[in-house]
Amino acid sequence: MNGLSTENESNNMYPATGLQSEKSFKPDFKLNRSLPENLKFLEELSWNFYWSWRPSAVNLFRDLDPQLWDEVEQNPRQLLRKIGGLRLWQRANDADYVRALNNFESEFRDYISQPAAEIVGISMDRPVAYFCAEYGVHNSLPIYSGGLGILSGDHLKSASDMNAPLVAVGLFYRYGYFRQSIGHDGWQEERYQNSFDQNLALKPVLDDEGERVLVSITMRGREVFAQVWLAQVGRISLYLLDTNVQKNNDVDRFITGHLYGGDVDTRVVQEKILGIGGVKLLRKLGIKPSVFHLNEGHSAFLTLELAREFLAENPQADFNDAIANVRSQCVFTTHTPVSAGNDVFSPELIEACFDQSFIEDLRIEKNELFALGRVNPDDENEAFGMTPFALRMTRTANGVSKKHGEVSRELWNEMFPEASVDDVPITHITNGVHAPTWIAPAFQDLFSQHIGENWKDVANDWESWKSAVEAISDSEVWRSHKLLKSLLISFIRQRTFSTDTGTQDTIHEHDDTNRLFDPGVLTIGFARRVAAYKRWNLLMSDLERLLKMVDDENRPVQFVFAGKAHPQDRNGKVLLQNLMALDNNSQWQRRAVFIEDYDQEVARYLVQGVDVWMNVPRRPMEASGTSGQKAAMNGGLNLSILDGWWIEGDNGINGFSIGDLDDPDISQEEIDARDAEALYNVLETQVIPDFYELDENGLPSKWIGRMKNAIATLTPQFSSDRMLRDYFSSIYKQD
Ligand SMILES: *Cc1c(COP(=O)(O)O)cnc(C)c1O
């Protein structure tokens, strides 16, 4: 099937479409109600995701109606629309509440009124344009699937906090990514929700006449239009393209329907909308970026639009001149450690996507276009890879951890035949996470008390931060952690409670949750995509040995799992089903749970509440990983294979390492067996004994020492603030 006939929506995992009413093309997401005068600021605040990383602002929404807040899944606009009048007027009459709201209003106005800073010579008149296919800003904007999206969301939040000159471009997926539930039989089921039914914090982007800005992109032999939404992420504008426009035919309307729906025909046109449409949009808005950041290869087609523009302005120039010009403006971040992990398109797909006149505008033949996406340009059997293409069209490329930089240099060495592996021009910037988003309010509060309200700035100076954290008393750190652990356990009990459990309790649903989990028991979290390289099986490889730990009378262990399998990944679903079905004459049913629908909200409870965060990927497949960084900032100890970021993070105290760094020349089965042995061994001889060892005051002081060391050493090094500074000083900066 080629791109000209993409009736891909017949895939029955998608909801039926039907023709949409006029209204569904033009939702304005208005509240259609007015708030009491002294609460009006809440509506303004709900338009800016800044609230989501300020605990006091989260509380302002939650305290309006805590039960409704959970029902609307922490969507403030939905809350403001649905909340009953009595609740609203009670708050409007609550002096403490109104005072807190007014205080936050001052903070907010102060924050957003500051003009963008100039950083390494880059300022808002020539900003950085950040392109990514997904953004995980907050659950109430469901346009992310996992790690890449969370990373780009954190990138924007740190950019906002440092007042960086940056604008962001992405796609608005009307049905987002799937929501997961697990049936009684343990089989994963997928659901898609129409986000247009929600009150999203998205504003339509309008032109001077008040009409919607539309960009048009030619593909599959016709013009496709995309409208634009604006999400405000603190001081950062995030523009989202959306082809659900009445002018488009039914198929084209669904180009931006789903995130990672799984077929390449849709994927390639989505990427054209993102890349080509994104550049056209910036031009329409009068934004003239000095740097285009391709965060992963999905947006790499933008380089062709830049080339087309250059050639249109320079009639004498040829395509090589254009490449030189484009390269000087573009930087690329790669995120996977395998070539097959990146998008690869057949020549037919590329051809359907880029018609002859576009290729003529580039002053090349279509074979030359195909060659741009090949590792070996002369190999006509090679398909078009977005990573080789991006590497060719950008001035710098980087992986997302030191190890991933090495792996990428090796992986793409063939493209640079004259270079030795070490000289392949791919560097690295290690990923980080946004501390205010991921550190629990209980710990932020502790830091404010002991380090100061500006604790986040203190973290920029690693030494000062370390001594300040080490100075906090053990008992206070432990108390905060225990609070969060109890919160996690009540969350687990609520999420797994089921009044309709079918025949028996499974680890994703229980009818009696009171006996589930114990706050005194060592709690290990394992939440990740159900992909083969994450090795969900490793922990179960010796069931007897595992259950011996779980059942131990004095020093038991409990496990919380979460993660989605890709809708088309049968093996992954079988694996999950086996995990659900694991039943046994042991305490397993009571000490293991699976939380459905892993997302940003679930992740927060987990990384903030567990004692240990486990990660057992097959090396070197974890390009970076970020969830362990979130856990560490909350005093969680990583128990991880030495891969990705953990190679840089581990110091022997701030967590536990499994296996070593050698790459022995043995089979995959043997490596798995060795790693499983090492995992059990570390659990039995280090993790469990350390956790249960109490000092004369009844505190696990050795463990708390490790927790403090994790917070002290890992928070500054793996914050997205550090990551942003690195991007500015070594990637965005012009020579
Ligand atoms: C942080 C996060 C991820 C990325 O975690 P990994 O360490 O790459 O597994 C994925 N999904 C969600 C919801 C997250 O919050």
Structural domain boundaries in the chain: 31-113, 128-431+726-732, 436-718
Across the range 129-134, mean pLDDT stands at 98
Q: What pairs with residue 615 in β-bridges?
A: 640
Which residue among 437, 627, 645 has the greatest number of ligand 1 atoms within 8 angstroms of its CB, and so is best to mutate?
627
Q: Which residue has the least CA distance to atom 3 on ligand 1? A: 147
Residue 28's pLDDT band (boundaries 50, 70, 90)? confident
Give me 222's structure tokens.
Answer: 């016709």
Summarize the confidence of residues 462-473 as an average pLDDT: 97
Spatial distance between the Cα atoms of 573 and 567, rounded to a whole number of angstroms: 8
Which amino acid type is present at position 480?
S
C-alpha 603 to ligand 1 mean position (Å): 7
* Minimum CA distance residue for ligand 1 atom 8: 625
Closest ligand 1 atom to residue 604 Cα is: 15
Burial of 620 (0-12, 13-18, 19+ CB in 10 A): buried
What is residue 135's three-state secondary structure?
A: strand
Tell me the pLDDT band of 23, cut-offs 50, 70 and 90.
Answer: low
Residues contacting residue 506 through CB under 8 Å, at least 6 positions apart: 184, 186, 580, 581, 583, 589
- Residue closest via CA to ligand 1's atom 9 equals 528
- What average pLDDT does range 158-185 have in this prediction? 96
Measure 527 CA to ligand 1 centroid, in angstroms.
8
What is the pLDDT at residue 262? 66
Q: Is 524 helix (H, G, I), strand (E, B) or coil?
A: strand
- Residue with structure tokens 């977005």? 386
Tell me the two tokens of residue 295.
């965060």
Query: Which has the closest alpha carbon to 116: 165, 157, 156, 158?
Result: 165
Condensed to tens digits (0 to 9), the pLDDT of residues 293-343 reads 999 999 999 999 999 999 999 999 999 999 999 999 999 999 998 876 678
Region of 268 please: left (phi>0), alpha (psi -120 to 50) or beta. alpha
CA 573 to ligand 1 centroid distance, Å: 19
Task: Tell me if 145 CB under 6 Å of ligand 1.
Answer: no
626 DSSP assignment: -
Q: How far apart are CA 203 and CA 194, in angstroms?
A: 17
Check residue 51 and report its DSSP letter.
G
CA 648 to chain centre: 21
pLDDT in tens, 55-97: 999 999 999 999 999 999 999 999 999 999 999 999 999 999 9
Instruction: State the pLDDT at residue 18.
Output: 44
Q: What is the mean pLDDT of the chain?
A: 93
508-514: average pLDDT: 86
**Residues in CB range of 494: below 8 A, 6 or more apart:** 513
Mean per-residue pLDDT, 117-132? 97
Distance, in Å, from the CA atom of 144 to the CA atom of 519, rounded to the nearest integer, reads 32
Q: Give pLDDT, residue 358.
A: 94
600 lines ligand 1 (CB under 6 A): yes
What are the structure tokens assigned to 495, written together?
Answer: 């999420």
Would you say the CB of residue 150 lies under 6 angstroms from ligand 1? yes
Nearest alpha carbon to residue 171 among 274, 90, 252: 274
- Span 532-556, average pLDDT: 95
CB atoms under 10 Å from CB of 570, counted, come to 10
What is the residue type of 242? Answer: D
**Predicted pLDDT at 503:** 58
- Percent of the chain at pLDDT > 70 equals 95
Between 586 and 138, the higher pLDDT residue? 138
Q: What is the pLDDT of residue 200?
A: 94
The average pLDDT across 620-639 equals 97
CA of 146 to the centre of ligand 1 (A): 5
Quote the ligand 1 centre to 633 CA distance (angstroms): 15
pLDDT at 12 over 60: no
pLDDT of 567 over the 60 cut: yes
Phi and psi based region of residue 120 (left: phi greater than 0; alpha: psi -120 to 50; beta: remaining): left
What is the atom index within ligand 1 of the atom nearest the CA of 603?
15
Strand spans (E) along 563-698: 592-595, 612-615, 637-641, 655-658
How many Å lie between the centroid of ligand 1 and the Cα of residue 131?
20
Please check whether residue 347 is in contact with residue 391, taking contact to mean a CB–CB distance below 8 angstroms: no
Distance 438 CA to ligand 1 centre (A): 11
* Cβ of 625 below 6 Å from ligand 1: yes
Specify the ligand 1 atom closest to the Cα of 630. 1
Contact 687, 402 (CB under 8 A): no
Question: Pick the residue with more confidence: 273 or 659?
Answer: 273
Residue nearest to atom 12 of ligand 1 (CA): 146
pLDDT at 179: 95
Q: What is the mean pLDDT of residues 336-364?
A: 89
Query: Which conformational region is residue 484 in: left (phi greater than 0), alpha (psi within -120 to 50 degrees), or beta?
Result: alpha
Distance 44 CA to ligand 1 centre (A): 30
Quick one: pLDDT band at residue 17, thresholds 50, 70, 90? very low
Closest Cα to atom 11, ligand 1: which residue? 146
**Which atom of ligand 1 approaches the CA of 628 most closely?**
7
Full DSSP string of 532-561? GGG-TTGGGTTHHHHHHHHH-SSS-EEEEE
Residue 354's pLDDT is what? 92
**What span, in angstroms and rounded, lies between the C-alpha atoms of 458 and 432?**
17
Which CATH number among 2.60.40.10, 3.20.20.140, 1.10.443.10, 3.40.50.2000 corresponds to the domain 436-718? 3.40.50.2000
Instruction: Please tell me the distance between residue 650's alpha carbon and the centre of ligand 1 in angstroms.
Output: 19
Please indicate whether residue 627, judged by its CB atom, sits closer than 6 Å to ligand 1: yes
Q: Predicted confidence band at 504 (pLDDT cuts at 50, 70, 90)?
A: low
Please indicate whether residue 599, judged by its CB atom, sits closer than 6 Å to ligand 1.
Answer: yes
What span, in angstroms and rounded, lies between the C-alpha atoms of 373 and 734?
Answer: 26
- Residue with tokens 């990672």, as numbered in its chain: 260
Q: Give the Cα separation of 260 and 565 in Å (integer).
A: 12
Check if 147 has its Cβ closer than 6 Å to any atom of ligand 1: yes
Distance in Å, CA 549 to ligand 1 centroid: 27
Atom of ligand 1 nearest to the CA of 600: 13
626 pocket-lining for ligand 1 (C-beta < 6 Å): yes
Residues, the chain: 735
Lowest mean pLDDT: which of 132-146, 188-202, 337-351, 366-380? 337-351
Q: What is the CA radius of gyration of the chain?
A: 26
Task: Quote the pLDDT of residue 15.
Answer: 44
Q: Scanning the structure block, which residue is given the tokens 């009307």?
A: 174
Lookup: tokens for 193:
């929700």
- Res. 13: pLDDT tops 70: no
On the question of pLDDT at 197 being above 90, the answer is no
Q: Is 361 helix (H, G, I), strand (E, B) or coil?
A: helix
- Closest by CA to 462, choosing from 711, 683, 198, 163, is 711
Q: What architecture is domain 128-431+726-732? A: 3-Layer(aba) Sandwich (3.40)
How far is residue 625 CA from its own chain's centroid? 10
Q: Which of 531, 547, 684, 545 is nearest to 615 (CA)?
A: 531
Model pLDDT, residue 499:
72
Q: What integer pLDDT is reported at residue 410 of this predicted model? A: 96
697 by Cβ neighbours in 10 Å (0-12 / 13-18 / 19+) ranks as exposed
User: How many angstroms separate the CA atoms of 297 and 390, rounded?
Assistant: 6
Residue 633 Cβ contacting ligand 1 at under 6 Å: no
Please state the φ and ψ torsions of residue 601, each to the nearest 5 degrees: -70, -45
Predicted confidence at residue 1, as pLDDT, reads 30
pLDDT of res. 2:
33
What pLDDT score does 237 carry?
98
DSSP, residue by residue, 304-348? HHHHHHHHHH-TT--HHHHHHHHHTTEEEE---SSGGGS-EE-HH
Ligand 1 centre distance from Cα of residue 258 (Å): 20
How far does residue 343's CA lie from ligand 1's centre (Å)? Answer: 21
- To test the ligand 1 pocket, which listed residue (145, 150, 536) has its Cβ within 8 A of the most ligand atoms? 150
Q: Is 646 in the pocket of ligand 1 (CB under 6 A)?
A: no
User: What DSSP assignment string belongs to 223-284?
Assistant: EEEEEEEEEEETTEEEEEEE---TTS-HHHHTTTSSTT-S-HHHHHHHHHIIIIIHHHHHHH
Q: For residue 524, how many C-alpha atoms fall within 13 Å in the half-sphere facing its CB?
A: 24
Q: pLDDT of 391-448, one tens digit each?
A: 999 999 999 999 999 999 999 999 999 999 999 999 999 999 999 999 999 999 999 9
Task: Calculate mean pLDDT across residues 592-603.
Answer: 97
Question: Would you state the structure tokens that stand for residue 137, as one six-digit string?
Answer: 């800003």
| Side chain identity, residue 284 | K
User: Would the CATH topology of 128-431+726-732 be identical to that of 436-718?
Assistant: yes
